[in-house]
Amino acid sequence: MPAAASLGEPALGPLDGRYRSAVAPLAEHLSEAALNRRRIHVEVEWLVFLGTHDVVPGARRITADEITLLRSLPRQFGEAAIEELADIERVTVHDVKAVEYWIKRRLETTSLADVAEFTHLFCTSEDINNLSYALMVRDAVAQVWLPAARALTDDVARMAVELRDLPMLARTHGQPATPTTLGKEFAVLAARLRRQLDRIGRAEFLGKFNGATGTYAAHRTAVPGADWPAISKEFVEGLGLTWNPLTTQIEPHDWQAELYADVARFGRVLHNLCTDVWTYISLGYFAQVRGQGTVGSSTMPHKVNPIRFENAEANLEVSGGLFRVLEDTLTTSRLQRDLTDSSMQRNIGVAFGHSMLALQNVAKGLAGLDPVPAALEADLDATWEVLGEAVQSVMRVHGLPNPYERLKDLTRGRKVDQAKLREFVAELGLPEGEAARLSLLTPGDYVGDASALVDHLEA
């Protein structure tokens, strides 16, 4: 792989400069070098398949040692090989053809020289590309993105459990509303994130291997007796992908659109978490103390800014925008082929890179939070009017007249303290036990099943 850019080296984008170290694991799967390494892998596996399945009449079988040699070629694709391939491509002006020639060079001086011309046999470039991208994205998701996203979601779920019993004033439309618990609100976010991760974890990665317009025309003409659909299916599934039998020159990319829509939706939920946590910090419900050795402001020493969540918001917006563009563009190809997908797919790594940055920022941000129970309690104690809902509901159950309207007159646009509310309840004429129960109710108690609802995360 090329050396990572440092802060002092020129880089057009932040993923190759400032944030290179944070996204390096993705570069192993989604960079241009990774694409060419996967192309070599697919070309080599096709050679191995041809040399072990008697597909071409009269072609000799390759030996176990020759298979080992072939499968070593992707591992040899280091910095020198990357430069060599670039030199070849400057002549071919065609990236996949350059890969074919790169492989043939290595076979010409080995025992495989006699089968070197089988490299890329019957293949259109998209036979190689679609399989390469499917393998790249599959492994990037499974080995890098999903583990990070699952770890973060587990962090959110742990916070839900830890904070399950901490009462909090809710705000609907930004206004004081029926209290909840801080943990229950984190549980809602954890459940939403997990739902998207379940969808992403079930993603299918499709591949095709059927020639220039998806008809096996060259295959059938050169080797008419072979069952080409069955060969194609066996080869694609042998790579660990789902075979798509009906395509044009390209695999239609619908599976990619489905995956990117789910990843983008996960990002929107995570963005919602960021804005909510940012607001809780602003309200003083969380203190940002742990692990804070950073400068919050160049002039105000007291500042500890919620920058992790702000940075995550920005990166989620970039990644979400790119995923949506990928989804929209990749599902359309003029007639049997156009080249828009070629340029578009080179941005897959950028989209996942900004998503990874967001995951890391949110994880670090959450790790630096400590709840401030006194701040939550003070907010609750200042808003006794939220018990109006409880009082009017009990009044309704016991048949008292105009419960909603009477509580509206008492509470709307007015602050109500404990004494005033108890006085109101005492004069209602409720059964003695009900009046006593309401008189003991506080905003901090009025959380319903909020704590118990967190248990649904484990269900």
Q: 110: which 2 tokens?
A: 């080995």
Q: Which of 96, 95, 102 is nearest to 78 (CA)?
A: 102
What separation in angstroms does the CA of 366 have from each of 182, 300, 313, 361, 370? 14, 23, 14, 9, 9
Instruction: Supply φ then ψ for residue 227, to 5 degrees.
Output: -90, 85
Give burial (CB, 10 Å; 0-12/13-18/19+) of 401: exposed
Report d(CA 452, CA 106) in Å as an integer: 65
Asked if 173 is an active-site residue, the reply is: yes
Show the DSSP H helices in 141-181 as ranges: 146-162
Asked if 120 is an active-site residue, the reply is: no
What is the DSSP secondary-structure string of 342-408?
Answer: HHHHTTHHHHHHHHHHHHHHHHHHHHTEEE-HHHHHHHHHT-GGGGHHHHHHHHHHTT-SSHHHHHH
Q: What type of residue is 423?
A: E
Report d(CA 276, CA 270) in Å as an integer: 10
Question: How far from each other are the two terminal CA atoms of the chain, in whole angstroms?
Answer: 44
Whats the size of the chain, residue-wise? 459
Q: Which of 21, 72, 297, 342 is catalytic?
A: 297
SS3 239: coil
Report d(CA 238, CA 52) in Å as an integer: 13
What is the separation of C-alpha 343 from the centre of its chain, rounded to a whole number of angstroms?
A: 22
Do 428 and 400 meet the contact criterion of CB atoms below 8 Å apart?
yes
Q: Which of 271, 276, 294, 296 is nearest to 354 (CA)?
A: 271
What is the separation of C-alpha 78 from the centre of its chain, rounded to a whole number of angstroms?
A: 29
Residues 6+ apart with CB under 8 A from 96: 39, 120, 125, 128, 129
Torsion of CA 428, 431, 434, 438, to 10 degrees: 20
Q: Which helix (H) or strand (E) holds 170?
A: strand 167-172
Q: Mind telling me the catalytic residues?
A: 173, 297
